Amino acid sequence: MLRGELRKFLHLPSLWVLGAFVMLATLWICHAAVITVKAGVWPKALLSYQGSASDALVVFALVFAPIVGTVLGSIVMGTEFSWRSWPILLTQGVGRRRILGGKLLVMIVLVAGSIVLSTATALALAGVTQAIGPTETLVSLPQLLVQAAVALLAAGTWGLIASAVTLLSRSTAIGLIVVGGYAIAENVLELSNAVRPMLVAWNIRSLVSIVGGTVSTLRITKTIWPYPPLWATALLLSVLLAVCIALVLTAFPGDPGFQLRLHIGTDPLPDSGVTAHEEDRRA
């Protein structure tokens, strides 16, 4: 089951595009600000500051993992609707729970793959920069594992939510837009600590209204009743979302890593003690 599903999705071009996005996102996390500030001398600037792989994973977990999870969750469930392959899939005598479980497992495997890819990209980059010259690249394995677990939890939870919304709405686009919108609002457009409680409250209110709206719509059309496992899934997802939000809020309260620790403008570069502008002038 898992092998077949993996085989199916690994042949999907959009997953390869997503893989490229993960790699580029990781590279961006490590370098974007430096490249932006030190435009014109980018090869040197690229190597002048290197965030650690752990930093990259923290940012990946908080910013990109929810988006990657959302995309994977929507694709894994939604493509079957757009390909009209659910009927043939559901009449293979496998059982709905096993099919649903298999799909969620595939989603988790793909999410884990994206985290491994991000870590590998960050490590490879750190290796390259360290080989060229001494940098502040710090790699701590236990720290990496914790960050990877957080990234997996974040991406997995958003992936599960996206899967559920896609299944209920029977549309990849709705899964992507509704859940992706939340993921972006919550993570990419993350605001300061002062507005975070407001954002969380707004998120929770919106989530409740989405769930409530979906439930009442389904009550009217009666389409939910044939699928009692979906109720259990929706409940589980809500709990997971709450756990994820709580974890993020408690594990990284005002963490400097959360703010990318990138050196923009006149902040001194760690290895030289000179500002970016001064170095530019010297160059």
One character per residue 110-139, x = contact with another protein (rule: CB under 8 A) = ------------------------------
Nearer Cβ to another protein (87/142): 87
Which range, of 46-54, 79-87, 205-213, 255-263, touches another protein by CB under 8 A?
79-87
Beta-ladder partners of 268: 275
Q: Which of 17, 20, 94, 232 binds another protein (CB under 8 A)?
A: 94
One character per residue 193-222, x = contact with another protein (rule: CB under 8 A) = ----------------------------x-
**Should residue 259 be labelled a site residue for another protein when binding is judged by CB under 8 A?**
no
Q: Which of 20, 24, 44, 85 binds another protein (CB under 8 A)?
A: 85
C-alpha to C-alpha distance for 186 and 249, rounded to whole angstroms: 12
**Should residue 145 be labelled a site residue for another protein when binding is judged by CB under 8 A?**
no
Q: Which of 40, 84, 192, 281 binds another protein (CB under 8 A)?
A: 84
Nearer Cβ to another protein (93/254): 93
Per the CB < 8 A criterion, the answer to whether 63 and 156 are in contact is no
Question: Amino acid identity, residue 205?
Answer: R
Q: Which of 17, 20, 92, 173 binds another protein (CB under 8 A)?
A: 92
Nearer Cβ to another protein (189/220): 220
**Should residue 232 be labelled a site residue for another protein when binding is judged by CB under 8 A?**
no
Which range, of 8-16, 105-113, 196-204, 249-257, touches another protein by CB under 8 A?
8-16
Which two three-digit tokens encode residue 272? 């030289």
| Residues of the shown chain interacting with another protein in the complex, contacts defined by CB under 8 A | 1, 3-4, 7-8, 11-13, 83-85, 87-96, 221, 225-226
